[in-house]
Structure 1
Amino acid sequence: MEDSDKQSELEMSPQQMRQLASKAADILIERIGAMDSAKAWDGEFREILAREFDGPPPENGRVAEEVLEQVARDVLPYGAQLDHPRFFGFVPSSPTWPGILADFLASGFNINTCSWLVSSGTSHLELVVIDWIRNWIGYPESAGGLMTSGGSAASVEAIVAAREAAGHPSRPVIYMSNQSHSALIRAALIAGVRREHIRLIDTDDRFQMDVSALRRQISEDKANGLHVVAVCANAGTTSTGSIDPLIALADYCESEDIWLHVDAAYGGFALLTDDGKVKLEGINRADSIGIDAHKWFFQPFEAGALIVKNGQHLNNAFAIRHDALQDTIWGANHPNFSDRGLQLSRSPRALKIWMSVQIFGLAPFRAAIQRGLDLANRAAAYVESSPVLELITPVSLGIVCFRVNDGREDEQSLDEINRKVLAHLFWDELAFVSSTTLKGKFSLRMCILNHTTTWDDVQRTLDLVVLNGSKALTPI
């Protein structure tokens, strides 16, 4: 028998596949069940990991179960447990089980949602999910979009679309607040905006973009021969959850014919709640919006989306005909998502959203988002009632910024005290809390989005802050 006629050595028997899949599922289910008693963060030094994993690849394989156990024991636990109920750092992510299974199925079917020919089924589900998001935003039927890896890719695609809509000017300039995510700065650089022409506009005491300062800067730049590509607003900054004045920005951008992009990566799904609709009023007037389902819509990474009010702008910017893809004439007049963004090879990211909503219904998602808003408000009330804590900025979209401050310490001492408190929290391992700096003040920061988080989780974390803060303060 010729070697080419033999069975591939990269295949497994059905029994082996079932055994491995069952073991992997057991590992995940046990992890989820034990989450409350586990650490919210764990890490290992590189030299330790290097001793375990460095070296050339093995020429011959190992026992599959042993490899699976090694990964579950020595690789995956070392990092932020973003779905832990007391992980309050950065922007947590707590995926649903149907979303996890959707990714498993998508990998098994080896789907590439690049064109209608290659994957009409998942392409259609992406149309469905994008239309759901379009409706939640309040966009017209002319809107279109695509799923992305996350806010970084969505920002690049939005700014490239804005650049093309502006006529691809030779001296582009772009604007955002000084609270904007670094992904927007990186996206502007990728789109060809010189670093010195990326304007970071000052914010007010609530960390919202100063529209008057924006107007002055744009007027000055136009007078100097620069061409405005876009204004980038925030619908939930990473530091404070603050929301830029969307209505005022939309009024100004419409009057000046300027593309308005809104970074709603984590905060956008608050639109599903009545409270969120009020807070995000005016977002439907933006030209484009980036939003991440792997944040406040409880999906596994990666599940971002970009929605553009006039969907044709994406095709204008990204559609390129290629001879090797000419067979996509099958499905002509059907959408090919590779024509809407930077990726040709694309996982079916909409599948996990669609499956999760079909299995649970939308109501539990809406309730879970509202729960995060309510818990953050309760946390703010706790802070304001404590004699040793200070609320630094009003709670917004699930984020609470505060610090230890009993009113007796100077700013330098407060900075040192709160850094010590954060270090104690880190090593205590009950919870994970991150920090930010607001107008020169070192601030503790809790982002409360996880659908499994309870008030007990929040209160225990705040109690620990008070305990460590009281010890760190100067004795009376």
Structure 2
Amino acid sequence: MCFRRSCGSARRRAMRSTCTIASGSTAERPIAGRFRGGSTRRGASSSPTAMRRRWRPRSIWSRRTAMGRFEHHMGGLDGTPKPPDARTRPGAAGARLDDARSRSVAQRIAADAAQVAAAIGDGPIVPTVTPEEIREHLGSRYDFTTPLELDDVVDDVEHMLGTWQVHVTHPRYFGLFNPSVTPASVVGDTLTAMYNPQLATWRTSPAANEIERHTLRWIGSQFGFPADASACFTTGGAEANFSAVIVALTRALPAYGEHGLGALGASPTLYLSGEAHHSFAKIAHTTGLGRRALRKIATGASLTMDLRDLARQVAEDRRDGFVPLMVVGTAGTTGAGVIDPLPELARFCRAERLWFHVDAAWGGAVILSPRLRSALTGIDAADSITCDAHKWFSVPMGAGMFLCRHPGTVAAAFHAETSYMPRKTAGVVADPYTTSVQWSRRFIGLKLFLSLAHHGRSGYVEMIERQARLGERLREGLRRTGWRIVNETPLPVVCFTRDGLDVTKFLATVMERQIAWMSEVRLAGEAPVVRACVTSFRTTEADVDRVVRDVESLV
């Protein structure tokens, strides 16, 4: 299903809902007024108390009604069931009523999500608040000694989130890889919380484990991985990258698993460009490799890894007694959105017998696009891949994926066995706690499964290619108005500057005037430039044109 048509219809339903003034009076009013003023204007109060005086939407799914149904079915915290009332008493009429409610749960959650998105889109992007202001608010209300009405607490929290947060789902949030999220994925996270499946073992959560397996096999097939490849959902890209390093160590150095790095006699080394994600510095620290095990390979004018410098560094390390272990190619760097030369890196790693890992946390989604997938040529030769669903697949945090073509090595790296866990299920079944870093596991994959099922591949292709075109529009609009573009990528990241620009002051003004949220970045150690990235499927051509026009007016 088309992203914009699906989400737009939900938004139109939300726009027709009424709004209430927190003081108690009601009036018909468009949802657009929810965060009017945003309490971030100079001189305006940003407190939730002040926000209650502004318009906010009536909840499409009444919290009290929902909690009433929940408490009836689940009982109190002491497990005592509540007696049935006329609406839920067993019987044909009650069953029909409950069926009708059940059928509409997804629509209600999706409509609520669309309503929040509509309100955010009409409001400010950047808050004005201090840590002391938030701490005072929390300290004055929540000492956790006296029970409070849940409805009141949720209302207060929603106001805090609406007021005191950079709205990363805003159409003019041109920042890091934090997307708007599909209503289907919000439904997925809600269902996961309601049923609370534990995915450590297959036997405990058969349906949830098979849904994740089915989804991951499809994703792996898009990357050209075999059907028996190992794959798991992670909390994010850092965990997936960490998993890759652990598995690479296990495969290359058999003594590592039992005896640790101290028994190896030589230090393993990792190779990545200076534009690679900085999670690898933390990974080198936490695995015991040490941060000095990272070899920062030079980049050329295009900011991609220099193959000659890589070959020189590997040869030098071997001469000096180190053990070259892994090369990390990045498919969509955080700073500039560039893609390392994956085919050449793959050939080099095969020749040198090195593990080839591709960090495609953001850019991996373009594998679905007929127009853009050639940018990832060579990724099918990787030993392992990181890809985040909570980036360009537009589902809520956190939903990373780790894929590896060596299932036996993955099992060796994370094997575990204990009597208090259920026995292994017969057949071709893997218990996730024995094939991943995590033990207790949330049903992370449901939000991606529902979003893929609802929108289909065609919906994702439309969304990804449209955002890429908006990135091109932003790039050309800035260039046309005198800005200098300093990165080259088919992905919607645009880094720009102009002579004499004070980037820090410029961005402060951009945010103060609520033009957009953009960031400062240094590429290849050079002077800071402005970085903008189209991350939201709600962004329009009008949003892009407005940003180009408004930033030009500042200089």
TM-score between both structures, scaled by the size of structure 2: 0.77
Count residues in correspondence.
451
Are the counterparts in 1 of residues 244 and 384 from structure 2 also a CA contact under 8 Å? yes
1:345 match: 440
Q: Provide the residue aligned with 1:153 in structure 2.
A: 239
Larger Rg: 2
Q: Give the Cα–Cα distance (whole angstroms) in 2 for the partners of residues 400 and 11 of structure 1.
A: 57
Cα-to-partner distance string for 1:411-465 (whole Å, 9 max, x where unaligned): xx33x2x332211101011311112112413211111131111111111112111
Cα distance change on mapping 1:29 and 1:278 into 2, 3 Å: closer
Cα distance change of structure 1 residues 218 and 70 upon mapping to structure 2, 3 Å threshold = same
Distance 1:441 1:45, change over 3 A: same
- Cα displacement string for residues 130-160 of structure 1 (whole angstroms, at most 9, x for unaligned residues): 1111111011223221010110100110100
CA distance in 2, matches of 1:205, 1:136: 31
Alignment-derived partner of residue 139 in structure 2 = 54
1:130 to 187, 195, 216: 216
**Structure 1 Cα separation of the partners of residues 108 and 185 of structure 2:** 19
1:256 alignment partner AA: E
Letter in 2 for 1:250: A
Q: Give the Cα separation in 2 of the matches to 1:43 and 1:315.
A: 48
Q: Report the equivalent of 1:309.
A: 405
Q: Which residue of 2 aligns with 1:390?
A: 484
Give % identity: 27
Task: Pick one of 245, 248, 251 that aligns with 2:341.
Answer: 245
Q: Is the Cα–Cα contact under 8 Å of residues 163 and 229 in structure 1 kept in the other structure?
A: yes
Could you tell me how far apart the structure 2 residues matched to 1:398 and 1:95 are? 18
Task: Please give the root-mean-square deviation of Cα atoms over the aligned residues, in Å.
Answer: 2.3
1-side partners of 2:127 and 2:301: how far apart? Answer: 36
Q: Tell me the distance in 1 between the aligned counterparts of 2:223 and 2:332.
A: 15
Residues 186-335 of structure 1: pairs in structure 2 closer than 5 A: 186-325=282-421, 327-331=422-426, 333-335=428-430
More deviation, 27-36/367-376:
27-36
Distance 1:148 1:12, change over 3 A: farther
Q: In the superposition, relative to structure 1, how do residues 160 and 11 fare at CA in structure 2: closer, same or farther (>3 Å)?
A: farther
Q: Distance in 2 between matches of 1:375 and 1:23?
A: 31
Structure 2 residue runs of 5 or longer lacking an equivalent are: 1-74, 89-100, 257-263
Amino acid at match of 1:463: R
1:369 aligns with 2:454: no
2:175/2:535 contact within 8 Å kept: no
Q: Secondary structure of the residue that 1:290 maps to in structure 2?
A: strand
Given that residues 275 and 523 in structure 2 are in contact (C-alpha distance below 8 angstroms), is that contact kept between their aligned partners in structure 1? no
Which residue of the partner structure matches residue 48 of structure 2? none
Partner of 1:428: 513
Instruction: Specify the code of the residue in structure 1 equivalent to 2:394.
Output: F
Q: Relative to structure 1, is the Cα distance of residues 323 and 381 closer, same or farther in structure 2, using a 3 angstrom cutoff?
A: same
> Residues 45-80 of structure 1: CA distance to partner in whole angstroms, max 9, x if unpaired?
111111111277322311111101100012454222
Number of the residue aligned with 2:493? 399
Distance 2:128 2:227 in 1: 47
Q: Specify the code of the residue in structure 1 equivalent to 2:378.
A: G
Task: Calculate the TM-score normalised by the size of structure 1.
Answer: 0.90
Residue 12 of structure 1: how far off its partner (Å): 9.0
For the 8 Å contact 2:175–2:517, the answer to whether it is kept is: yes
SS at match of 2:528: strand
User: Per the alignment, do residues 381 and 11 of structure 1 end up closer, same or farther by CA in structure 2, a change over 3 Å counting?
Assistant: farther
Q: Deviations over 1:150-195 (max 9, x none)?
A: 1010011010000111113441111110011111221222222122
Matches within 5 A, 1:55-204: 57-75=143-161, 77-167=163-253, 168=256, 169-170=264-265, 171-204=267-300
What amino acid sits opposite 1:402 in the alignment?
F
Q: 1:45 and 1:11 mapped to 2: Cα distance? A: 43
- Within 1, Cα distance between the matches of 2:461 and 2:284? 33
Partner of 2:451 in structure 1?
A: 356
1:268-323 C-alpha deviation (Å, 9 max, x unpaired): 00111123211110011110000001100111111110111222221110011122
SS in 1 for 2:420: helix
> Aligned partners of 2:354, 2:344: CA distance in 1, in Å?
13
State the alpha-carbon separation in 2 of the partners of residues 462 and 10 from structure 1: 58
Cα separation, 2, equivalents of 1:247 and 1:43: 46
Against the structure 1 CA distance between its residues 205 and 224, is the aligned structure 2 distance closer, same or farther, given a 3 Å change threshold?
Answer: same
Change in 2 beyond 3 A, CA 1:25/1:276? closer
| Counterpart contact for 1:116–1:328, Cα < 8 Å | no
> In structure 2, what is the Cα distance between the partners aligned to 1:300 and 1:445?
23
